[in-house]
Amino acid sequence: MTAAMRVLPEELEALAERIAQAMQREADNFSAPGAAPRINACAAQFTRVTDPANQLAGYEGIWRNARGERCGTLTINGDGSFFAEYDLFCPHPRDPRWFVEMVTAWGRDDEIRSEATLIPAL
């Protein structure tokens, strides 16, 4: 467990890892072989936040690239729901008509869904 993960309660660390793994699978599918970034929950810097809608405690993690720029977020809400996104910005590996903008994951508790966001290539 890294210092960044210690901000998360222990019961959310495993969820954060599963979310990151789901996004990693999408990134691997939509990047050239070996070109996908490594999406690890332990690399995100988490802070505790309060959901303005229901006042429940939640956590927001931010991934940064080597230049310190934000390249992804993971928000885990107090009601068990979550949303994550990670920027890829790369050409589609198999279809030149598309550009891969990002991968996202969302769900609640142990139900995780993920997908890549594609935009037309110019």
Contact 12, 5 (CB under 8 A): no
**Residues sharing a CB contact under 8 Å with residue 86, sequence separation 6 or more, in sequence order:** 23, 27, 37, 39, 63, 71, 72, 102, 103, 104
Q: What pLDDT score was predicted for residue 61?
A: 96
pLDDT tens, residue by residue, 32-76: 888 899 999 999 999 999 988 889 999 999 999 999 999 999 999
Decide: pTM greater than 0.75: yes
Q: What pLDDT score was predicted for residue 1?
A: 47
So where are the chain's domains? 3-120
Q: What pLDDT score was predicted for residue 6?
A: 61
Is the pLDDT confidence value at 99 over 60? yes
